[in-house]
Structure 1
Amino acid sequence: MSAGRWPGWWWGWPRSTCSSASAQDALSTISLTACTCRASPPAQLKEGSDVLERGLWALVIIAAGVTLYLLLRHAHLAWVRRRARLTRLPNGKPTLLYFSTPGCAPCWSLQAPAVTQVEGELGEAIRVVRVDALRQPDEAARWGVLSVPTTIILDPRGEVRYFNHGYVTAEVLKRQINTLDGGGKTKDGFTPLSRIGGYHDRLGQDRTGD
């Protein structure tokens, strides 16, 4: 076999067609790849910094919202106290004002039973005043009621001490009443002076049972 007839792996091996221009292109590609790799860490750091900045802004907005809510709540309570001085219900005992409407589901399903429970456990030690905000919108406006159910706790001097937006449990109401002057204690933490029931007062109209 002549030399010209060796298998392709010898004579048939493809000759390199790499020119100087191709080598230059390869070097350029390698250089660009290296630059890209070197540029990645700073880009990732910038992205992480942006995420951190957005998180900090979110915390600032949340804190501002909470602060605004507390300020508005304090201002609303102060306004209610000023208005309440014109419509006090002084009777020497704590008073629970309960505002509701006939169509309010949380009122009759949750808040009304809680108010009735407090009234039954404390009896004559407190006065419960139920107000229909639809039938007596002037009273609701006078006391600053914006939604129902709303419960307001007055001390024995008729000063507003607690203003509850929305449903609150009987335990919370009793705890609030217990902080007032004249609040007593029983086995549940309160002392009912008697169990004379039937207090279903309306503003301007008292009605007691036998």
Structure 2
Amino acid sequence: MLERLLILVALTAVLGVIWVLLRQHQARRLAVLASQRPFAGLVPIGCPAIVAFTLPTCAECRARQTPALERLRQQLGTTVQITTLSADAHATLVERLGIMTVPATAILDPEGAVRALNQGFADETRLLRQLDAVSTAHLSPSAG
């Protein structure tokens, strides 16, 4: 019984370390993407943006992500640019961003820098929180 408990504790610790390493990797990737502006020419600058990646065969995109984006579009109006891109048509960008699944969403600041990247479905609450963080960072004196 004690052996099983020790194995469970060890597995939990290993999974915890893997999770921390993945989060650190994602933070480093976002820092690099923020300086590269990968959406230049695809998404206009001047206001925050949400870019959603989808595929025609993606049921979750149609059933959950698209309706969530539409509700945000109605709520936020023209204060946020919401764009949907085909993952197939933008395969190089998808690879560059490290997107492994659709739906996926990227949050851009008003200058076009990637500030958040969501793998999988992101609900309105999460997207609004990420947009709020972008707006707060953009408005702070140290953000310039």
TM-score calculated relative to the size of structure 1? 0.57
Indicate which of 47, 69, 84 corresponds to 1:93.
47
Cα deviation 1:104-163 (Å, max 9, x = unaligned): 100111011101111221111111121100122112112221110111112223332222
Shift of 1:79: 2.0
Indicate which of 52, 74, 90 corresponds to 2:2.
52
Counting aligned pairs with the same residue, the percent is: 30
User: CA contact under 8 A between 1:81 and 1:159: conserved in structure 2?
Assistant: no
If you compute each CA radius of gyration, which structure gives the higher value, 1 or 2?
A: 1
**Does residue 156 of structure 1 match 2:110?**
yes
**Equivalent residue number for residue 119 of structure 1:** 73
Output the CA distance in 1 between the equivalents of 2:37 and 2:65.
Answer: 27
Equivalent residue pairs, number: 133
Could you list the runs of 5+ residues in structure 1 that have no partner in the other structure?
1-50, 184-210
Output the CA distance in 2 between the equivalents of 1:81 and 1:100.
Answer: 24
Letter paired with 1:76:
Q
Larger relative contact order (C-alpha < 8 A, sep ≥ 6)?
2
Output the CA distance in 2 between the equivalents of 1:157 and 1:57.
Answer: 49
User: CA contact under 8 A between 2:30 and 2:116: conserved in structure 1?
Assistant: no
Indicate which of 112, 123, 129 corresponds to 1:169.
123
Partner SS for 1:109? helix
**Equivalent residue number for residue 70 of structure 1:** 20
CA RMSD in angstroms, aligned pairs only: 2.1
Indicate which of 2, 8, 11 corresponds to 1:61.
11
Counterparts of 1:1-210 in structure 2, within 5 Å, are 51-84=1-34, 85-89=36-40, 91-181=45-135
Letter paired with 1:100:
T
TM-score calculated relative to the size of structure 2? 0.80
